[in-house]
Structure 1
Amino acid sequence: MTKRWITFDLDGTLMQNPFVDWVFPEIISIIQQQLNQDIDIKKIIVEEHEKRMKENRIVEAYDWDDIVKQVIEELNLSTKIEVTQLVEKHTETPKVYLLENNILNTLNELKIRNYSLAVVTNGYSIYQVPVMKELGLDKLFDTVITPDLCGYAKPNESILNSLLYVGEIVAHIGDRIDHDIILANMLGITSILINKNLPNNLIEMPLEKRHEDETFLKICEEKWRAENKMKSVPFLNEAVPDYVITSIEELTDIF
């Protein structure tokens, strides 16, 4: 039987990783201790990430070990920081957590309904898999696709090649338009945007109607412009999802 895949983004969709609140602050603290001047280390790290994104070096933009190593070299410091080790150090509850209480149950229900589940994330496996294991997500996914393993990053369509070879991708769910919705729409896959802050008038609408509402289209366009703040990219038809959900639980109403 041909596999029917439902693919998921991770950060901002299913889980919270330890980078913002724990890993980056420790990196900044370590570097700052080596300096004799007050420098905004976080700004330098983020700027290098954004520079790589702007140059369409998306795979490299999520290699935090390489970015931090480059920053340290540019500051002429001798310290060595292993981001992977810091992620493992801080991957513990409550530093990492699921974004909804019933995520595991919902994913399990989709599997019961004979869907195969895959993670498709721009986060490297060395950063994502430890968090998935801590939160119990690893047991529910058949495969995890990351840039360091496949050599591609969203929205490059080739990131989904391995799944397309062994089945049909039914839908992709994510919280970003520029990475998730564009990817799915370009491949003709059902695109599902998760937005946990939808206004009540949209939440009360039927699932299949929300994406057509003018209120949502404005939200969509504002989000698109925020995600592309470093580029002058026009709002595209491909940026509108087929569905917008406010909770992962709503997926059981679609599938």
Structure 2
Amino acid sequence: MKKWITFDLDGTLMQNPFDAWIFPEVETLLSEELKYSCDAKKRLFHAHQQMLRNEQIVAAYDWDDLVRQLIQELGLTREIDIEALVVTHSVEPKVYLLDDTVIPALRRLKEEGYDLAAVTNGYYKYQYPVMKALGLTEWLDVIVTPERTGYAKPNIRMLDSLLSEGELVAHVGDRLDHDVTIANQLGVVSVLIHRDLPEELLGLSPKQRADHIGLGPVLEGLAARENPQLAGMRLPQSYQPNYVIRDLEELFHCLDIKKR
């Protein structure tokens, strides 16, 4: 039976090229044709957020379709291939691993007998080129994506295929609403990775951080960024991680109990 450890990708292991490269290129292409700035990035993000609010989570991450819709709204007829742009921009330093512990940690987990999977709300066609460029495909056995499963985080059905092959030990991610929530709903170890922890939490163990009162403002800030409607509100219990790490090297402190 396999022992899975799963990882979010964007914001957890790697930086994709969308925000810094692809959206600006879309803006340039459309604005040149229109002869004025259409604020494409803002409009695409608004459409994305609206779909998330309407619980169209799988469709919300189809950037090719979102761009097609925007082009139609603007009265244009041109085509922009987002998948092709991802391939073009999947080169360093446009894409990069988020810290130097990523590959060594994945290698060590494999050596210790774990099976590793990426569980991401990004479509395979957008994620694989970045992962390949950064050397992640060598260490991750499976890439679980919304368009392949029909589900997106935090829906636990997204993990059906992995659970049919073994046990999920832990899930690691940077979002409360997607990553911590899906792990907590499944009753597996939820690990929040946050690389900008306040000074008072740095010297603590991952478990101590999760239980420390100083984590409260961190979680509240994350929740408000993910969903502005949660600003100032009491967070749901599903947002409380079991462990908090600042890099993947610290993940091994979260697995010792599970391994024993």
TM norm structure 1: 0.96
Whether 2:41 is the aligned partner of 1:60: answer no
SS at structure 1 position matched to 2:147: helix
Deviates more, 1:217-226 or 1:167-176: 217-226
Q: What's the counterpart of residue 205 of structure 1? A: 204
CA distance in 1 between counterparts of 2:54 and 2:75 reads 25
Deviates more, 1:227-236 or 1:24-33: 227-236
Deviation by residue 1:204-243 (Cα, 9 ceiling, x = unmatched) = 1122211111110221122112211156875111111000
Whether 2:250 is the aligned partner of 1:250: answer yes
CA distance in 2 between counterparts of 1:220 and 1:43 reads 25
Q: What's the counterpart of residue 145 of structure 1? A: 144
Deviation by residue 1:56-87 (Cα, 9 ceiling, x = unmatched) = 10101100000000000111101100000000
Q: What's the counterpart of residue 88 of structure 1? A: 87
CA distance in 2 between counterparts of 1:150 and 1:84 reads 19
Maintained 8 Å contact 1:8/1:173: yes
SS at structure 2 position matched to 1:44: helix
Look up the equivalent residue of 1:191 and give its one-letter code.
Answer: S
Structure 1 runs (4+) deviating above 4 angstroms are 230-234
CA distance in 1 between counterparts of 2:10 and 2:218 reads 20
Alignment of 1:67-146 (within 5 A): 67-146=66-145
CA distance in 2 between counterparts of 1:14 and 1:199 reads 21
Q: What's the counterpart of residue 191 of structure 2? A: 192
CA distance in 2 between counterparts of 1:207 and 1:148 reads 33
CA distance in 2 between counterparts of 1:218 and 1:87 reads 35
1:254 CA drift (Å): 2.5
SS at structure 1 position matched to 2:211: coil
Look up the equivalent residue of 2:207 and give its one-letter code.
Answer: E
Q: What's the counterpart of residue 46 of structure 1? A: 45
**Sequence identity, in percent?**
45
How large is the Cα RMSD of the aligned pairs?
Answer: 1.3
Maintained 8 Å contact 1:181/1:191: yes
CA distance in 2 between counterparts of 1:85 and 1:207 reads 40
1:37 CA drift (Å): 3.6
Count of matched residue positions in the alignment of Structure 1 and Structure 2 = 254
1:105 CA drift (Å): 1.0
CA distance in 1 between counterparts of 2:182 and 2:126 reads 22
Maintained 8 Å contact 1:5/1:118: yes
SS at structure 1 position matched to 2:12: coil
TM norm structure 2: 0.94
Maintained 8 Å contact 1:28/1:41: yes
Q: What's the counterpart of residue 258 of structure 2? A: none
Maintained 8 Å contact 1:217/1:240: no
Maintained 8 Å contact 1:211/1:217: no
Deviation by residue 1:102-157 (Cα, 9 ceiling, x = unmatched) = 21111010111111000000000000001101000001011000011111110011
CA distance in 2 between counterparts of 1:87 and 1:114 reads 33
